[in-house]
Amino acid sequence: MVKEIQLRITLKEEEQPNILVLKSAIKLEIDRQDITGVKILRKSIDARKPKIILNYKVAVYIREALPKTSAYQFEYKDVSKAKPIHIIGFGPAGMYAALRCIELGYKPIVLERGKNVQDRRRDLKAINQDHFVNEDSNYCFGEGGAGTYSDGKLYTRSLKRGDVRRIFENLVFHGATDQILVDAHPHIGTNKLPKVVQNIRETIINYGGEIHFETRVTDFVIKDNKIKAIELQNGNTLDVEKVILATGHSARDIFYLLHKKDIALEAKSFAMGVRVEHPQHIIDSIQYHCSGDRHELLPAASYGLVEQVKDRGVYSFCMCPGGFIVPAATANGEVVVNGMSPSKRNNLYANSGIVVEINVDTDLPKYEQFGALKSLEYQKNLERLAFTAGGRSQVAPAQRLTDFVEGKLSTTLNDTSYQPGLKSAPLHSLLPKFIGSRLRKGFEAFGKKMNGYYTEEANIVGVESRTSSPVSIPRNENLEHTQITNLYPCGEGGGYAGGIVSAAMDGERCAEAATGNL
């Protein structure tokens, strides 16, 4: 017999051996000896009150053995001689599209503009230390996409788009910790994710798929509303039958290519703002109601904040406890910041994007001339502004949080995790008024919600502009492009996902559509 129950356990109780078995026996009113095992299904922390509670959802096995294998099994087969499906991009959407193709008996041929995870590291070092951006290999482009070196957070609200558990189980199958199966806010960590990504690559190759790195797509040969061939930067041309386009939210050259060929695109609403960085101990003290170090059983504290300001949402995005800020530009001449955390989340700082919703239909009247690319051009201009304000390198413009809200230049800045460095700049006046004024009101409101959050010990760093794609690529109910019948826009770049898990699920669905198994 198996029964699922909810348990609430204090930190002091958590330290006791076999506490889950004991609590389960008490709740079910049965003898402890009758419990043959307790499997954790979900774990979360309730820190709203000074007495912190750990919430567990568990499956209690009563006189019945725990299953030794997962209910999810991944049956890959040799597809080396099977019909090919071409996949452009090897981020989460492209990876999971390739894996699903193999399961369905088709050969994935992946074209990735960037480098593999090992070789990518040199280009990340060049951004951080030499302020040079390789436009094909950076924090956004390369094996595993933006997720590989951007934290590995797996939280998603896209529960109706596919089987979330299947994605998690597949990550565990490829080497991720099984802790992601139970945590309420699962996270792999930027130090662990590259190995998982490498294992996925090896699965694809071992079963007959192909992955071509440093292979940028430069053109499509289109006839009768179908892509007949793909032209590559190296001069080669590949004949194709079906194409899954999974190039991510920062592949501007693809958006420009489609636009040039009069292939339907749509401007998309998105969000932009800044990244705020606090010492982690401040966030811990607020969230855990402690004055000193947090309890050893508690993870680095996180937060989620949202406020309506002048009919627009101002909210936290991609919050990274115990993490660091990284340069996420994809071209020289722009500054973009993002955040990540290692698996242990043991860095001294907490950072989060704080962004403002932008309505593409009403907020960008000066950019109407760009049509479907108006959001993209607005995004580019803000990133160029940050580049200039930072001193025309990857040094980022920054300000103390209190100075930003009060509208004055910071004479000094706090220490930071951002390796290229910070330069004091009047972001309160440099940012477009539409964004800056709402951010200032938002930070004031957040300070009232979290006592201690509004502090001169925090920096704000500009700009956080790659929250999602500024362009969407329309598709029909069969996931085909509305004009090009063998093109399947996929993942974040198409406007159909917002993170690793939702992109992976969309990749699987596009593989099913491209192979006729949707």
pLDDT tens digits, residue range 389-434? 999 999 999 999 999 999 999 999 999 999 999 999 999 999 999 9
Residue 297 has pLDDT above 60, yes or no: yes
- Indicate if 139 and 247 belong to the same structural domain: yes
* Chain centre distance of CA 133: 21
Q: What CATH number corresponds to the domain at position 110?
A: 3.50.50.60
Supply the mean pLDDT for the chain. 95
- Indicate if 54 and 108 belong to the same structural domain: no
The predicted pLDDT at position 68 comes to 85
Residue 159 has pLDDT above 60, yes or no: no
Residue at 501 is within a domain: yes
The predicted pLDDT at position 171 comes to 96
- What does each C-alpha distance from 382 to 333, 385, 424, 472 come to in angstroms? 11, 5, 17, 20
The predicted pLDDT at position 151 comes to 63
pLDDT-based confidence at residue 48 (cuts at 50, 70, 90): confident
The predicted pLDDT at position 291 comes to 83
- Indicate if 216 and 356 belong to the same structural domain: no
- Indicate if 220 and 258 belong to the same structural domain: yes
Domain count, the chain: 3
Strand bridging mode 210-212 / 217-223: unpaired
The predicted pLDDT at position 427 comes to 97
pLDDT-based confidence at residue 158 (cuts at 50, 70, 90): low
- Indicate if 306 and 253 belong to the same structural domain: no
pTM over 0.85: yes
Residue at 71 is within a domain: no
Residue at 69 is within a domain: no
Residue at 375 is within a domain: yes
The predicted pLDDT at position 443 comes to 98
**Helices 164-173 and 500-514, interaxial angle, to 10°?**
100
Residue 446 has pLDDT above 70, yes or no: yes
- Indicate if 29 and 146 belong to the same structural domain: no
- Indicate if 205 and 103 belong to the same structural domain: yes
Domain enclosing residue 494, as ranges: 84-265+473-514
Residue 34 to residue 16: CA distance in whole angstroms:
20
- Indicate if 149 and 279 belong to the same structural domain: no
Residue at 73 is within a domain: no
- Indicate if 34 and 147 belong to the same structural domain: no
Residue 151 to residue 188: CA distance in whole angstroms:
7
Each residue's pLDDT tens digit, 184-202:
889 898 889 999 999 999 9
The predicted pLDDT at position 483 comes to 97
452 phi-psi bin (left φ>0, alpha ψ -120 to 50, beta other): left
Residue 382 to residue 334: CA distance in whole angstroms:
9
- Indicate if 11 and 25 belong to the same structural domain: yes
Q: What is the CA radius of gyration of the chain?
A: 24
Residue at 100 is within a domain: yes
Residue at 75 is within a domain: no
- Indicate if 319 and 368 belong to the same structural domain: yes
Q: What CATH number corresponds to the domain at position 56?
A: 3.30.70.2700
Residue 367 has pLDDT above 90, yes or no: yes
The predicted pLDDT at position 70 comes to 87
Residue at 37 is within a domain: yes
Q: What percent of the chain has pLDDT over 70?
A: 98
Q: Of the candidates 423, 443, 464, which is a domain's last residue?
A: 464
Each residue's pLDDT tens digit, 305-330:
999 999 999 999 999 999 999 999 99
- Indicate if 310 and 396 belong to the same structural domain: yes
Average pLDDT over residues 380-395: 98
